[in-house]
Structure 1
């Protein structure tokens, strides 16, 4: 456990500044967008001007401004930083492994000869990546009350009405996907994402183990994972309702767990048996 924690700390330490920059960009964009929207609306109320034409994200302002309305009017500038963060994290799925092979004195050789089970390296990388993902989601949740306070500081009390933060999240397209309202939906989204990351990890290790031929193995493996997950829906679709909805859901859940177990087992085995110094 001590070796695993040291490897986990190393992975977090190597990405900490990038994660801080992503959080800073997100906070700056969202706070700036909120301030700009509110000040523009308050100015319009003091000095009536024609409404913007052609802005598909614009929602007409109610008599009493609400935090929910402010979130609905900041779709684009909320979506962009979140998409940037998602893109960087998606690229980091590959970089977290290939970074150790980059350079003249490859760092992966030093990691592989450490006096610890190689599975700790695998578990440390997936644990660190999940920490980055859920850390960003938690940061967004913490940012929402701060945005609500800024809203109350800018909008005079006689021109605003109270609204719940949960309702505000549901009005923003970016936030409703990042933070699902239903707990079951949250587990489904992030559980499926975790399985996808593990499958990609295994494909990367296949490529590292077999090199050029490993690229083909990796593509075939990912294709097999997608086919396995989709097989219940493909075999038992609405035109051939051999299974009840709950049974179909259970079959898909079983396939997700199957892909999860295979990916972890094969990834650790490749790291321990096939990749050599």
Structure 2
């Protein structure tokens, strides 16, 4: 089974939970938007009666609402949990399913990259759907208050830049967007490596999660400690280069560890 076939198969397996997640996010966000519009309209009408209605409403006020932020948090948590579950589900039933995958006539790293590609497609899909949902929410926001003759302020792009999480998801420059995607890849690779190390140790010691986590903590903290030591000696351009080298090093090391444990040490 080649990479594309295995990737297609993994995507098919994630389609149903992905659609459930998307549906839940849209219900929460548009439900919160409806309540926000109703509540703000009533509040503004009260201010009009007292002559204090002299401030414009901003879309970012809706984006900073607890319900909206909670929906984003759920999405992030779901992707992280699925990054773990995409491996552990194959170890159910004493690992017979994973055993079949490992004995298929293909390199074992094909399994690794198929699962990685699935998570990245899931993430980018959420980004795209959320962007469309935000556009629709902004249109509904401005149309509603225009009909009520309530002033609004700020553009769609400004609202995203003022909201911390969304400014990371949708940065103003393509380079920043690519950097953020690389960071997501690194996080997923760390999760994958943790699972593979833990699965390699699980029949040998009950301390396998602690051991695997300790290995990754060392890999993660060494570059950070190095930056803390060198930060006062680096100018801006050198800092950018250092961060780029660290990201490439993290990527390379986690893939190498994943390959090593998947090909030579994995217990099923």
In the superposition, the TM-score normalised over structure 2's length comes to: 0.85
* C-alpha distance 5-260 of structure 1, shift in aligned 2 (>3 A): same
| Residue 216 (structure 2) aligns with | 222
Q: Is 2:130 the partner of 1:140?
A: yes
Match of 2:160 among 169, 176, 179: 169
Q: Cα offset for 1:189? A: 3.0
Any idea what SS the aligned residue of 2:231 has? coil
For structure 1, which segment, 145-154 or 120-129, has the greater mean C-alpha deviation from structure 2 after superposition? 145-154
Cα separation, 1, equivalents of 2:37 and 2:138 = 12
Structure 2 CA distance for aligned equivalents of residues 232 and 153 of structure 1: 52
Q: Are residues 164 and 48 of structure 1, via their aligned partners in 2, closer, same or farther at CA, if it must alter by over 3 Å?
A: closer
Q: Which residue in the other structure is 1:246 paired with? A: 237
- Count of aligned residue pairs for this structure pair: 262
Cα shift at 1:177: 3.5
Distance 1:273 1:155, change over 3 A: same
Counterpart CA distance in 2 for 1:29 and 1:189 is 26
Is residue 2:260 matched to residue 1:269?
yes
- After TM superposition, the structure 1 stretch with the greater mean CA deviation from structure 2, 176-185 or 229-238, is 176-185
Give CA deviations for 1:153-208 in whole Å, capped at 9, x if unaligned: 42234434574211121233442243333434333333223112212212221222
Show the counterpart of 2:34.
35
Query: Which residue of structure 2 aligns with residue 255 of structure 1?
Result: 246
* SS class of match (2:2): helix
Give 5+ residue unaligned stretches, structure 2: none
Gaps of 5+ in 1: 52-59
Question: How big is the shift at 1:136?
Answer: 0.8
Inter-CA distance 50–272: structure 2 relative to 1 (3 Å threshold): farther
- Equivalent runs, 1:1-277 vs 2, <5 Å: 3-48=2-47, 63-65=55-57, 69-75=58-64, 76-104=66-94, 106-157=96-147, 158-161=149-152, 163-211=154-202, 212=205, 214-238=208-232, 241=233, 243-275=234-266
Separation in structure 2 between the aligned mates of residue 188 and residue 21 of structure 1, nearest angstrom:
29
CA distance, structure 1, for counterparts of residue 90 and residue 228 of structure 2: 39
Contact 1:27 1:143 in 2 (8 A): yes
Q: Matches of 2:160 and 2:239 in 1, distance apart?
A: 31
Change (3 A) 1:61 1:182: farther
**In terms of mean alpha carbon deviation, does 16-25 or 132-141 score higher?**
16-25
Q: CA RMSD in A?
A: 2.7
After superposition, the C-alpha distances for 1:67-91 in whole angstroms (9 at most, x for unaligned) are: xx03324421210011011112111
For the residues of structure 2 that align with 1:96 and 1:132, how far apart are their CA atoms? 12
